[in-house]
Amino acid sequence: MRFYVPEWDDAVDAHYDFEHDELSSLNRKERNLDYIWDIFDRETTPIDGVLISREQVEETDRKAERLAEYGVYDDPVLSVPDWLPTISDCGAWGYKSLPFPPYGNKDMLDFYETLEVSVGVTIDHLVLGSGKDKGRLYLDKRAFHEDFKKGDIPDSLSDVVDVMVDEWPEEWPDYVGEYEPSIRTEQTENITNFTASDFHGDIDVVLRRLAEDRRAVYRENDEKFRYELTLHNAEEMYDLYQNGDYPFRLMVAIQGWDPKSYIKAANKVLDLGYDYLGIGGVAGSPIHEVRKIVKGVGKTVKSFERENSTRVDSHVFGFAKTDGFETIGRSGMTSFDSASMLRSAWTGGDNYQLDSEERYDAIRIRYPSNTDSLDEAIEKSLRGREALVALRAYGSEYPLIEAIDKWHQKAEKVLPAAREYLQEHRHDPRYDKSLLREVESAFRNDFEYGRELQASFSDRLRSRIVMLRKDDPEAPIPFEEYEELLRTAERELEAFPRMLTSSNWKKQFLILDVMNPLAEIQTPMHLLSA
């Protein structure tokens, strides 16, 4: 079973300063970015492929233009290695609030060919359940305005209709006109605003009126429409693909609302001739439902393979539940994709799945938040810095007490050195810049402890100290303003818990089993968590 990771611009600073937990350059354009395939080699890369959604590609014009020019394998930024297969889809979660997918079938085939991906996926429309009695109503966000917002829609309507508000594309694909001619006939620049009268009155009368409105789409059974549209796209796209000469493999995406509907869809697309099937729409479903769907589709695929003496590959989109790995494996699924396990490495526990039953946690050291006061930010930075020092000492099998002691001695030197540096250099020409980033970059590179100041005492303090850009020698800032900031840091450092001088801590460190060094940081980590 192959694991594909979604491409969400998850790149890291190639030359990150791990000692001080800081970016290599404050200027984003100057950083070299590494993706997961840049960090590992072919034998050790912990993924089997990359999922690239059109929604993500077109997040910015620059990225879309770049990938259109170079493709995913030759792109100077993404630069996926040629030995790593790629799947590209339309990103159905991104347009789930629209009445139609914003892409046409021929358009998507051309998109996949331009990107030079290994596999392209048919256009699906996420089947959304609705508990509302009268179906679903789609409204163009561009028709709302200051005097009439979504919240002004009367409860009498929103209580019985699932209201979906999103910004519609400037131009719909041609096929949309077959279903809703009204929304194709108005120029986008002439969209009229909604008023209260559009939504008030007898519910059935309002809905009939909105069904003909150019700014709205109303469906009583939207679930069925999305299901059938997904299958219609699969059929049309298959014909276009067979009549073309495309270099990629075509996967069909199916949707449904229960195991029975998924099995029915699987039978239909297999009869069309597809040999690669993707199960969509299960990302947010309960694990017991996913198991039923995957088992049902898996049995359908195996039965088709036996009857036709052929092979059919299968994929599960957005499968994020590690508890279900065994199920999708036994069901014969070829591959799945998820970013949840990677993201959980900095948000939660039990986040590394191995072949054995073992689980490993990632320990997250939090930065101060933007809402923290200066003294709170400094305190959290001191705690986080000490925790990182302890973790790195543990990783290198270095005595924790000695490592923390060395860090503390260094931290005590930072503030007096900063005071001396500011007195001597605050009016240097290098700080005569308008951009804070340029001044801060010069400060951290020239001042001996510029990076340690941020690491131990917070980015907030360093940014506040870098008033240098406003410190005009002709009208200097009173040095007392610098002193006040430094004294705040000194007070926090003085009040900071000194584990090394506590006899209780020393005793606890000494009696711990040397063969289990992780135990040494369990209690300190608990107390140091921000």
Burial label, 271 (beta-carbon count in 10 A; 0-12, 13-18, 19+): exposed
Last residue of a domain, one of 313, 331, 362: 362
Both 334 and 381 in one domain: the answer is no
**Position 16 in a domain:** no
Matching residue, tokens 């709205």: 216
The rounded distance, in Å, linking the Cα atoms of 234 and 258 is 19
Does 235 score more than 50 pLDDT?
yes
Residue 393 sits in the same domain as residue 495? yes
Are 407 and 471 within one domain?
Answer: yes
**Total count of domains within the chain:** 3
Residues 524 and 411 occupy one common structural domain: yes
pTM for this model (two decimals): 0.80
Domain stop point among 336, 362, 388: 362
**Contact indicator for 50, 15 with CB cutoff of 8 Å:** no
**Bridge partners, 226 (sequence order):** none
Q: Are residues 206 and 270 in the same domain?
A: no
Mean pLDDT value across residues 459-464 = 93
Question: What region does 443 belong to: left with phi over 0, alpha with psi -120 to 50, or beta?
Answer: alpha
pLDDT of residue 507: 45
pLDDT at residue 82, rounded to an integer: 95
Note whether 270 and 190 are same-domain residues: no
Show the tokens assigned to 231: 């299958």
151 lies in some domain:
yes
**Together in a domain, 414 and 455:** yes
Stretch 131-139: mean pLDDT, rounded? 91
Is position 157 within any domain?
yes
Asked if the structure places residue 174 within a domain, the reply is yes
Is 54 part of any domain?
A: no
Question: Of 301, 335, 362, which one is at a domain's C-terminal end?
Answer: 362
* Over residues 156-176, mean pLDDT: 93
In a domain, 24, yes or no: no
- Would you state the pLDDT for residue 100? 97
Range of the domain at 268: 256-362
Q: Residue 274 — very low, low, confident or very high, per pLDDT cuts 50/70/90?
A: very high
The dihedral through the CA atoms of 480, 456, 380, 25 has a sign that is positive
Q: How buried is residue 522: exposed, middle or buried, by Cβ count under 10 Å (0-12/13-18/19+)?
A: exposed
The answer on pLDDT for 423 being more than 90 is yes
Same domain, 192 and 316: no
Does 411 lie in the same domain as 484? yes
If asked whether residues 378 and 514 sit together in one domain, one would say yes
Share in percent of the chain as helix, strand, coil (round to 5)? 50, 10, 40
What confidence tens digit (pLDDT) does each residue in 330-388 have?
A: 888 999 998 776 666 666 555 555 566 666 666 778 789 889 999 999 999 999 999 99
Residue 224, pLDDT > 70, answer: yes
Q: Are residues 382 and 462 in the same domain?
A: yes
CATH at 318: 3.20.20.70
Q: How far is Cα 458 from Cα 451, in angstroms, rounded to an integer?
A: 10
Whether residues 381 and 523 fall in one domain:
yes
